[in-house]
Amino acid sequence: MGAYILRRLLLMIPTLIGIMAVNFFIIQFAPGGPVERVIAQLQGNDVSATARISGGSSDMAPGADSVGTMDGVSSKYRGAQGLDPEFIKELEAQFGFDKPPLERFVGMMWDYARFDFGESYFRDISILELIKEKMPVSISLGLWMTLISYAISIPLGIRKAVSDGSTFDVWTSAVVVVAYAIPSFLFAVLLIVLFAGGSFLDLFPLRGLTSENWESLSWPMRIVDYFWHLALPLTAMALSAFATTTLLTKNSFLDEIRKQYVVTARAKGLSERKVLYGHVFRNAMLIVVAGFPGAFISAFFAGSLLIETVFSLDGLGLLGFESVINRDYAVVFATLYIFSLMGLLVTLLSDLTYTWIDPRIDFESREV
Cβ atoms < 10 Å from Cβ of 262: 17
Note whether 340 and 202 are same-domain residues: yes
DSSP classification of residue 63: T
What's the pTM value of the predicted model, to 2 decimals?
Answer: 0.72
Per 3-state DSSP, what percentage of the chain is helix, strand, and coil (rounded to 5)?
70, 5, 30
Note whether 180 and 279 are same-domain residues: yes
Q: How far apart are CA 157 and CA 159, in angstroms?
A: 5
Look at residue 14 in the predicted model and tell me its pLDDT.
Answer: 93
Note whether 41 and 83 are same-domain residues: yes
Note whether 200 and 331 are same-domain residues: yes
DSSP classification of residue 326: T
Q: How far apart are CA 327 and CA 35, in angstroms?
A: 9
Per DSSP, helices labelled H in 117-269 are: 127-162, 167-181, 184-195, 219-257, 260-267
Look at residue 63 in the predicted model and tell me its pLDDT.
Answer: 39
On whether residue 181 sits in a domain, the answer given is: yes
Note whether 84 and 142 are same-domain residues: no
Note whether 252 and 357 are same-domain residues: yes
Q: How far apart are CA 180 and CA 175, in angstroms?
A: 9
On whether residue 64 sits in a domain, the answer given is: yes
Q: 355: domain CATH number?
A: 1.10.3720.10
On whether residue 12 sits in a domain, the answer given is: no
Note whether 52 and 178 are same-domain residues: no
pLDDT in tens, 339-367: 888 888 888 887 777 777 666 666 666 55
Q: How far apart are CA 359 and CA 72, in angstroms?
A: 73
Q: How many domains does the chain have?
A: 2
On whether residue 107 sits in a domain, the answer given is: no
Note whether 60 and 161 are same-domain residues: no
Q: How far apart are CA 249 and CA 156, in angstroms?
A: 8
Domain that holds residue 328: 127-365
Look at residue 202 in the predicted model and tell me its pLDDT.
Answer: 82
Note whether 168 and 81 are same-domain residues: no
Note whether 223 and 287 are same-domain residues: yes
Q: How far apart are CA 210 and CA 297, in angstroms?
A: 24
On whether residue 1 sits in a domain, the answer given is: no
Note whether 191 and 77 are same-domain residues: no
φ, ψ of residue 286 to 5 degrees: the values are -55, -55
Strand partners, 69: 74
On whether residue 199 sits in a domain, the answer given is: yes
On whether residue 271 sits in a domain, the answer given is: yes
- Give the type of residue at 52: R
Instruction: Report the sign of the C-alpha dihedral through residues 244, 246, 248, 251, in that order.
Output: negative
The full DSSP string for 258-273 is TSHHHHHHHHTT--HH
Of 354, 360, 356, 234, nearest to 294 by C-alpha is: 354
On whether residue 25 sits in a domain, the answer given is: no
Last residue of a domain, one of 58, 84, 100: 100
Last residue of a domain, one of 83, 100, 117: 100
Look at residue 366 in the predicted model and tell me its pLDDT.
Answer: 55
Helix (H, G, I), strand (E, B) or coil at 368: coil
Note whether 152 and 87 are same-domain residues: no
In this prediction, the residues of the chain whose per-residue pLDDT falls under 50 are: 47-74, 368
